[in-house]
Amino acid sequence: MEPMIAKTLLPLLGGAPAVWNTCVMFFQVMLLAGYAVAHAGSRRLGTRWFSIVYMAMAVAGLAVLPFSIHPDAAASDATDHPILWTLRILTQAIAIPFLALSAAGPLLQWWFSRTRHHASRDPYFLYAASNVGSLIALLSYPALVEPALRMETQARIWMGGYVVFAVLTACCAAITWIHGDESATDTAVNGAKRARIPWRRRLYWVALAFIPSSLMLGVTAYVSTDIAAVPLLWILPLSLYLLSFIVAWRSMADRRLPVLVLPLAVFAILSIGGPVWLVLPMHLLAFTMTAVLCHGALAEDRPEPESLTQFYLWIALGGMLGGVFNSLIAPALFDDLIEYPLVLVLACFVRRGEPPALGHSASALPDQAPDASQLRARVTDVAYGAGIFAFALALALLLRGTRAAAAALVVPAAVALRQLKHPIRFAVCVAGLFLAAGFSSSAAFSNGRLAEQRRTFFGVYRVFTDASSGVRELYHGSTLHGMQAMDGTHDHEPLTYYHRTGPFGELFDAIPPAFRQDVGVVGLGVGSLAAYAEPNATWTFYEIDPAVERFARDEKYFTHLAGCGNRCRVVLGDARIQLAAASGREYGLLILDAFSSDAIPTHLMTSEAMSLYGSRLARDGVLAFHISNRHLRLGPVLGRLAAHHGFTALERVDTQRNGAAELGKRPSNWLVMARDARSLGRLTTDSNWKAPAVTRSTPLWTDDFTNILSVFKLR
């Protein structure tokens, strides 16, 4: 259900990766609420009375099924207050049935522990079984469900599954009534009251649950920001998260985690984001080992069944805090994605060497003040971390941009690795490496000076001024989103992917002049395309993030919009929603240039989106798609869409960078299409513009189905 319902929200929020993190946070909050219901109800009402109350709640969940997401009159809040809007919509759509499902996990185990079955004294194996079920469902969604079924059909089938669940749960309740040992319930409740669990142990459970939860969202943001915000890439970290509950090879994780975290710290210092086939598995493996380490420790420290519901309640609290930290607290505290390396360092602190150091010992830690030897050890730990930080930062700055930097950084990483027998010292050394990465990134990033940095729901933006060439640049995540020269000569020239000698410049010159009078652009950036606006022309930019418009209009950074004046206007909101609202509008040229870092929102490249674009395009108008991407080959997908909707398509891949006479040019990939090939002018006879490589196996993307694997570039 989680990827299914998140996918329905994705188009309403511009395909932003944060949609998934917000949804996960909601599900974690509801999971905590369900566990709290199970804990309080089983304690205060007893098995039989609470089974009646619970079944009533499960039946009430049918009132909102099959669930559906409908934008209402307050849909503008999706842009103005995206997190609150998402939480409100999710609450209306799915809160009650998800609450019933959440409570079922600990409740069914509690019921089972009250029976006379030989396995009832240790019912925790059912928790592993439930995670196996969740894992199978998650892996089945992108492989079987998403490609075959429309969203409406998926929701109806899910409703049928929920009905089956309610019936089976009622059967379990009846079995407990008939064969359960009610006297065992009273004994268990009284025993739980006597066996008070120390707060230190409870907080230990919370911390062990917090770390994997936060890291899951951190690595998901990393994966989906630069590739694509699609269920397939959301499911990978969540599946590994569930897998860690099923297989808790804690001792192996304890040994492997340091070997995986150190390369990530070096990658961060060097600002290495690829090749994706190497970097992505490193992040996922580090996350998996951390989750196994923490969840294995939780499994070792599980209490007797009398405290089962309380145990799950504290685990759920830690998971929820991880989601709240990443989705609400971190964006408010940090202007960069600090939470990901921060929690990786915290995971290293949790790593305590040998397995016996974990578990019940957490509730029996000494309360006396540390002695002199312990203080000296902590001072030594801090000294090691400070030394690693200074050494790594110096190497990063002195050898910036050279191959020698990678080789040299092996030295501080090796020093940190030698501290494995001193867990706190090792964690401090890792913290020093990540701190060096943070300090070096501003100086090394784009060889320029960081002028401003801002974080929003849609990502992290940075404005740099390059002192050597006199240009200003806007980065979203790790991707350049626009550049403007401020040298007095090229101030009004479009640069980067929009250079006049690049594919877009060729396209703009080739199409009939009449098409250039009314232009629509999805995606604003720094407003580079506004430099093409001719006298008496009207350009409309659709931009989902108000922060991007503020950057583009701030004349101390960029002046393309200011220079365009009244010819250019900006409409805030998701492009598909705003274009649908612009009934009667016909553009001679409609440009699709929307990116979230390096990821292009997939809901803008579906058959339904193409139908919308066609309705907003003049009869002989031209569609232009900017599809430059490090990880995805999108030309075949758009070629398939063009053929399906009766358009002629041509693609141009320009690998040429700026030369002596071409300041600020970047390689780019553009695809154009029109109903009438004559609208493309001389591009139809230009050998550089070719038909996209569409084959019979090229899938037709729809709002219900997008196949990222078919266009993935492993490099």
In the structure encoding, which two tokens stand for residue 641, read together? 């869409």
CATH code given to domain 499-711: 3.40.50.150
pLDDT value of residue 438: 79
Averaging pLDDT over each range in 11-25, 297-311, 369-383, which range is the top one? 297-311
- 2-325+339-360 topology per CATH: Growth Hormone; Chain: A; (1.20.1250)
Radius of gyration of the chain (CA): 28
pLDDT in tens, 319-342: 999 999 998 899 889 888 889 999
Tell me which of 421 and 461 has the higher pLDDT: 461
Q: Which of 39-43, 146-150, 280-284, 585-589 has the weakest average pLDDT?
A: 146-150
Instruction: Give the mean model confidence (pLDDT) for residues 72-101.
Output: 78
What distance in Å separates the CA atoms of residue 522 and residue 520, rounded to the nearest whole number? 7
Does residue 105 surpass a pLDDT of 80? yes
Does residue 181 surpass a pLDDT of 60? no
When pLDDT is cut at 50, 70 and 90, the band that residue 251 belongs to is: low
Share of the chain above pLDDT 70, in %: 87
Mean pLDDT of the chain: 84
Q: Which amino acid is at 344?
A: L
When pLDDT is cut at 50, 70 and 90, the band that residue 616 belongs to is: very high
Q: Which of 114-118, 239-243, 679-683 has the weakest average pLDDT?
A: 114-118
When pLDDT is cut at 50, 70 and 90, the band that residue 361 belongs to is: very low
Q: For residue 474, which phi and psi values (nearest 5 degrees)?
A: -115, 125
Sheet holding 587-592, edge to edge: 568-572, 538-543, 518-522, 587-592, 617-626, 668-674, 648-654
pLDDT value of residue 370: 62
For helices 151-179 and 82-113, give the axis angle rounded to 10 degrees.
Answer: 30
Tell me which of 575 and 68 has the higher pLDDT: 575
3-state secondary structure of 227: coil
pLDDT value of residue 715: 56
Sheet holding 449-456, edge to edge: 449-456, 459-466, 471-476, 479-485
| pTM as predicted | 0.80
Q: For residue 197, which phi and psi values (nearest 5 degrees)?
A: -90, 125
Residue ranges of alpha helices (H) inside 180-300 are 182-194, 199-226, 231-246, 250-270, 276-300
Instruction: Compute how many other C-beta atoms are within 10 angstroms of the C-beta atom of residue 439.
Output: 15
**HSE of 370 in the Cβ direction (CA atoms, 13 Å)?**
8
In the structure encoding, which two tokens stand for residue 490, read together? 């090229």
Instruction: Give the mean model confidence (pLDDT) for residues 585-603.
Output: 86
What distance in Å separates the CA atoms of residue 38 and residue 309, rounded to the nearest whole number? 7
pLDDT value of residue 621: 95
pLDDT value of residue 366: 44
What distance in Å separates the CA atoms of residue 46 and residue 23, rounded to the nearest whole number? 33
Instruction: Give the mean model confidence (pLDDT) for residues 558-562.
Output: 95
Q: Which amino acid is at 300?
A: E
- For 681, which DSSP code? G
What distance in Å separates the CA atoms of residue 375 and residue 360, rounded to the nearest whole number? 25
pLDDT value of residue 336: 84
Tokens 């307050």 — which residue? Answer: 74
Does residue 179 surpass a pLDDT of 60? yes
pLDDT in tens, 484-494: 998 777 788 99
pLDDT value of residue 636: 94
Instruction: Give the mean model confidence (pLDDT) for residues 579-594.
Output: 91
Q: Which of 19-33, 111-125, 438-452, 676-690 has the weakest average pLDDT?
A: 438-452
Does residue 459 surpass a pLDDT of 80? yes
Instruction: Give the mean model confidence (pLDDT) for residues 407-413.
Output: 86
Q: How many residues make up the chain in this entry?
A: 715
Distance of CA 220 to the CA centre of its chain: 4
pLDDT value of residue 714: 59
Tell me which of 402 and 565 has the higher pLDDT: 565
pLDDT value of residue 355: 37
Instruction: Give the mean model confidence (pLDDT) for residues 118-124.
Output: 85
For helices 339-350 and 199-226, give the axis angle rounded to 10 degrees.
Answer: 140
What distance in Å separates the CA atoms of residue 145 and residue 705, rounded to the nearest whole number? 10
- For 142, which DSSP code? I
Does residue 618 surpass a pLDDT of 80? yes
**HSE of 534 in the Cβ direction (CA atoms, 13 Å)?**
9
pLDDT value of residue 67: 82
Q: Which amino acid is at 107?
A: L
Instruction: Give the mean model confidence (pLDDT) for residues 23-38.
Output: 92
Which of 597, 682, 678 minimizes the C-alpha distance to 631?
597
Domain locations in the chain? Answer: 2-325+339-360, 376-447, 499-711
What distance in Å separates the CA atoms of residue 97 and residue 67, rounded to the nearest whole number? 10
DSSP string, 421-437: TSHHHHHHHHHHHHHHH
pLDDT value of residue 221: 83
pLDDT value of residue 194: 47
Does residue 512 surpass a pLDDT of 70? yes
pLDDT in tens, 627-649: 998 888 999 999 999 999 999 99
When pLDDT is cut at 50, 70 and 90, the band that residue 37 belongs to is: very high
Does residue 77 surpass a pLDDT of 50? yes
